[in-house]
Amino acid sequence: MALIEVKNLEKIYGGDGAETPALRGLDFSVEKAEFVAVMGPSGCGKSTLLHVLGFLDRHTRGTYLFDGKSMDQYSDDELAKVRNKKMGFVFQMFNLLPRTSVLENVKLPLVYSDVKESLWNDIAMKAVAEVGLEHRADHETTKLSGGEKQRVAIARALVNNPQIVFADEPTGNLDSKSGGQIMELIDGLHEKGCTIILVTHETYTAEYAERIIRLKDGLIESDMRVTARHHGGDKFIK
């Protein structure tokens, strides 16, 4: 059974005669442990699709099955629980809490989990170590470089051991060296069996994926396997 399956998926913004279609009837599936990149020009629906798949927004029409269950069967509270327990997110702007330590940022998803509070520090420190930042655990995130901030975001995304990580332009604010390190981390998560859906406009970033879906005007323009992948290995994943 596919982890994600969408049929005739549509997302329309607005109403009363001023509707703007963002997704126009998409059909595809994503298998467990697959690494998929979503590409396309600005405004093609990439981020909208990620938000729907990540339970951050609801679709307008069509069907979205996650792990065999329709999104329409979840209440908003249930969506939030599944999102926290089974999904991790990495965004271009990092979305870290300011004036707060690396460790506190990584612990945040555990606050909304069923994990005992007494275990939070150990679990969060393990995630911090996996991205090579244990020496920065007590530093405020505002004092980190862009690459370090994105590593913190990745640690936060994996702290609940999610089934899937959604990454929205994770290298967009980074230089090429830092961007390459972040992609090595994400590729390392995939090698450990995590499903990855990556939104990007950068070809070198997309080539880490096994498959590239290209969108144009809210439609799937192409859906192809990647024949020559980058392999970042597990330089920072231990």
Encode pLDDT of 110-130 as tens digits: 988 889 999 999 999 999 999
pLDDT digits (tens, 9 = 90+) for 2-58: 999 999 999 999 877 788 999 999 999 999 999 999 999 999 999 999 999 999 999
Within-domain flag for 61: no
Q: Please tell me the total count of domains within the chain.
A: 1
Running DSSP on this structure, what letter comes out for residue 2?
Answer: -
CATH number at residue 177: 3.40.50.300
Q: Is residue 215 in a domain?
A: yes
- Written as six digits, the tokens of 7 are 């049929």
Residue 127 placed within a domain: yes
Q: Which long-range contacts (CB under 8 A, 24 or more apart) does 110-118 make?
A: 110/159, 110/160, 112/80, 112/84, 113/84, 113/85, 113/160, 115/160
